[in-house]
A and B are shown apart, each in its own frame.
Chain A
Amino acid sequence: MASKAGPGTYIGAIILAIIFFIPLWVLILIAFEPVRFTFGRVYPSFLPLGFTLKNIITSITTPGLYLGSSLLRSLEVAFMVGGIAIFLSIFAGYGLSKLTARVSNKIIVLLFLINMMPGLIISIPVASEFDKVGLYNNIVGVALAQELVVLPLSVFIVLGGFRGLPKDLENQARVDGAPFFTSFFRIILPLNRIAIMVAFLLSWMTSWDEFTYAVIIDPIAPSNSTFPVTLYNYVSRDLALDAATFALVATVPVLILTGFLMKYLKGQYLSGGMVV
């Protein structure tokens, strides 16, 4: 559409690309450079001056740092959040897609309004209730709470997918004698798989990043917690080097996932659904 790219475009693009890349670069430098080039210097350089794997190996092998176990915990929680999200949103999305837009939009707006409430006002009472039923300091408890953050968006994404399917498909299947569940599971659901996948991955990533609910419902003591909370714990204990290597290890897989997701992120999925 817009005008051709002039030199200004390139200069702007390069400056912005540097700004967006530098923090990741700093993380890589700290993780892979010998400490004397990073924390050992008052003014560390942005240029790579050395390479070592020692930092990563030390962080992994130091006992009592919960590196592996907290990543594992985050993984379990994230998959649980994604799973519950698509389970609930497949049903909700399908049902809402059959209602008139006037009704279904009201329900979606309601879900998003609830999503606007501060995490702390919800999580503090939830934590004390969870404590009574054994869900405090428990991966299921964290997953159930984090689900609140992802549910509106994933319902909306899946609903958008169902709305995009031609209505006649389902009628056709029914005319051909397929019972409701057959037509639902063998025709409708497979056709909507991309929306469902995007909903799952976005929920997964949100859970991987989520801090507020995790720090209240699954604090670091007495056992370990998810990776953001554990990282915060490292930072507050001044374990700077371990925190950096840990952060990098936890970030790289998600970056790859983001690159993969990008194709879908550019579309309508991200606008919180509220595309006009």
Chain B
Amino acid sequence: MIGPHRVNADPTVPSIRSSRLTRRRLLQAGAGAAALASGAASPSWATARGVPAIQGEPITLTYWHGWTEQWEEMVQFVVDQFHQQQSRIRIEPVVVPVGSQEQSSEFLAKLTAAIAAGEPPDIVTLFGSTAIPTLASQGALVPLDSLDGADLPTVEAWMDPNVYRLGRYEDHLYGLSYWAGAYALIYNKAHFAEVGLDPEVGPATVADLDAFAERLTVRSGSGDISRMGFLPSDLLLWGTVFGGNFYDPSSNEVTANDPNVVRALAWMRSYAEKYDAQKVAEFNEGLASERAANLDPLIAGKFSMQIQGPWKLGDIKKFGDPNFAYGVVRPPLADAEAQPANWTWGDIQVIPTGSKDPAAALEFVKFTAGVNDPDGYARRCTWGERPINVPVSRAVLEVPSFQQVVASHPGFDVFIDALLNGERIGSPPVMPAAAFFTDRLAAATDSVMLLQAEPGPALDDLDQSVQSELDRAR
């Protein structure tokens, strides 16, 4: 639930500017349009705003984020903690209610317009790291390593290496993640018991997963699926689990047609073949139309096993039947010999070009990542005393308040272990065409799962189109 509307009473906050239209402003607008027209071909965003504050002078920074509903309160909690820790830098959070990562293009539209107009926010949270290479290559982000007081060795030592790299692009660090996404498989113990599976033993390998799914799936007399044992959907995760790579940064080559990724997609397609692609599509459509966007098929018992993030454990506690019994296991291995694998992403704090005091902004960015503050960070990343995502640092695992949250939410430890001790951790390709790549990958996966395309050719096509987009962007 969102708290009461907050009015900023800080006298250092600039008041909303006058909206009076004067001839001078009209002329300025005309000049601005002309400048834009003449500089349209230039990729540079650099339009410095104001004069950087003198070291030590009180300053108010505007912070854009997309966290809505109860998470807006979490942001305020983080900001309040930051204010308690120091008094010089005041943070004014501004919610940009884009809702989800899928809508991040709207968030980016607002952000790029503001940067181009020379009135950017001072700090921004990007959902996911895919936009960083694009923005960084256009000069729209401040490299953190260029700032005084960055002290990157300390930051690097604090953060898990797989999470730290989410903010990197071409030898520079552009952002720090607030926390880290991780996947695990959550299963319904009652369904396991119902079909004679041991409720305490989840699938360890993909072969187990296939066999369990078959037993757990329930069809009606007409062949319609009323309960799905399991349905793979995320090729980024499964491609990594099968040992594949999507991009080779050393040669700047898209490698989505890596044989292991093809193998993963072929395995995903086997579900469409086994359970009838049409019936699977109808099952999915049925879920969507019945419950609109907020359907939770796992809690509703429509799926027996699902790949999910740690936040689902909090949802089960809050929204699920109190008797809902679940188990959590790491994503099953491709085979018994394979390395444990996972996929991570982050919500990353960056500093846009034109931020009025990047050094002060950096202080807040480092604070959100909890650098060398395990106790405070433990409270922030488990806001509401519930699992949300995995902390960015192992140091937090020793904090009693964090251990309490782990103990009260069975299965949270599996997510933490899967990410921090995983041997192969994939993350979004660090390239300017990353957003285009994820869109195309989702489209290719859909067409294969509808049996409209074969995995190999679909990924070959994807490789070509993303590579040409990448070459253009570079």
Asked if A and B bind, the verdict is no
